[in-house]
Each structure stands twice: as C-alpha cells, then as structure tokens.
Amino acid sequence: MKVTKSEFIISAVSPSQYPEDALPEIALAGRSNVGKSSLINRMINRKNLARTSSTPGKTQQLNYYRINDQLYFVDFPGYGYAKVSKTQRALFGKMMEQYLLERKELKLVMQMIDMRHAPTKDDIMMYDWLKHHGLPVCIVTTKMDKIPKTKRVKHAKIIKEALQIHPDDSFVSFSSEEGLGRDELWSVISRYAFSKDPFGEEEELDEVEEGQETSTHEA
C-alpha cells in the first residue's frame, strides 16, 4: 500500500471520542517499549508522527492515526509496565477490553513482541485472551535488526511455539530501524482491513484447483 496521507486524529480516553466514519481499524498491542509507535512511523514513512519515547508507559490513551483516509491504526497503551499505578492499570485494562470486545470497526489486532526475547507471561496471557475471544491476530516481532541474521529463524520459532500460535493467525518479523517486514505487514493489514472474508481468497483458490483437477481427469 502506498501511503500518501497520514494524520494523528485523537488520543481517546473514552469511547465517545472514537471516530465515527466507520473506517476499518487495526489495533497495536504489546508491552511498553516493544516498538509500537516506531512501527506506525515506519509503516507510514514518517519520522515522528507517532511519538516514540524512552520513557515506557507514556502512551496511556487509544491514539488514533488515519491513513490515506482508508483505515486507522489504533495505538494501545503498553501493558506490563510496573510503574503505572494499579488503579490506572485497571482503568486502561477496562478501556482496552471494552474496545477489543465491542468495537465493530476493529479488523485485526497486531500483537507485538520483542524478537530478542521469549514471550513474557503478559504476552502469552494477552494472546490467549485475544484467541479466547476469537479476535484475528497478527503477531509482529519487533527489533529484528538487533538479532544476527543466522538466528532470526530460531527466534521466530521459539516465539511461535511459546504462544502456540493459531494456524489462521499471521506472523511477521519486523524492524522499524531498517524497514524489514514493512511490505509483508501492509499486505496482511490490507487483507484484513479491506476484504470481507480475509480467508476467502484461499478458499476460492482451492476451489479453482479442485475444478482444474477434475477437468484434467475428464480430458
């Protein structure tokens, strides 16, 4: 997807502030500091539209970014950050939960995991929760540039196994620093945002193949 326009829309603190134009929404979830804001900037090739920070836990609202007037990225507060007070954490949790369970425009959750480490308990809990509620997930492993090329496959395998990734879910390894995985991630996002049935294409392909086989047999 060629990004020609990207705008920050709102830091929403309550559902009444969510946009009303019914565009598809792609949520970004992951631990603080995993690289969510950096990923948004890389996807839209802007240096600093989504604010990145060396202070973890800074993003405390749902930050909406509109891309090409076609879809939204919704940047979530990072989970697993100890310095946020318990009350605050419960509050973010509730808002996120409500969003994830009730937001009709939500098409895909990109759950981001630091590729340098095995998934944490929080990562596994989050993924299990998303799957329990039947939400489509793309696992995005971040900071791939920090891992030597020869070890990337191994790291990806460890993460997939620890999460017991569902066969329908996509998996993309990414580096905001170097732009690795950007095209692949855009194609996953487009599939979920714009096709009525993200798995439909594959089903159709199967049918065509079967049809071709039959006609070969008959010939």
Ligand X SMILES: Nc1nc2c(ncn2[C@@H]2O[C@H](COP(=O)(O)OP(=O)(O)OP(=O)(O)O)[C@@H](O)[C@H]2O)c(=O)[nH]1
Binding site for ligand X (CB under 6 A): 30, 32-38, 52-54, 56-59, 78, 142-143, 145-146, 175-177
Residues 6 or more apart in contact with residue 11 via CB below 8 angstroms: 61, 62, 63, 64
Q: Which residue minimizes CB distance to Mg ion?
A: 37
Min CB(56)–ligand X separation in Å: 5
Q: Cβ distance 60 to 78 under 8 Å?
A: no
The first and second tokens of residue 217, run together, are 């047999």
In the list Mg ion, ligand X, none, the entry touching 48 (Cβ below 5 to 8 angstroms by class) is none
- Please name the helix (run of DSSP H) or strand (run of DSSP E) that holds residue 13, with its range, or none: none
Please identify which residue in 6, 33, 59, 175 interacts with Mg ion, judged by CB under 5 A.
59
- CB nearer ligand X, residue 16 or residue 54: 54
Would you count residue 38 as binding Mg ion (CB under 5 A)?
no
Total chain residues near Mg ion (CB under 5 A): 3
In the list 6, 33, 37, 41, the residue contacting Mg ion (rule: CB under 5 A) is 37
CB of 184 to Mg ion, least distance (A): 22
Q: Give burial (CB, 10 Å; 0-12/13-18/19+) of 112.
A: buried
Closest Cα partner for 96 from 168, 188, 12, 171?
12
Residues that bind Mg ion (CB under 5 A): 36-37, 59
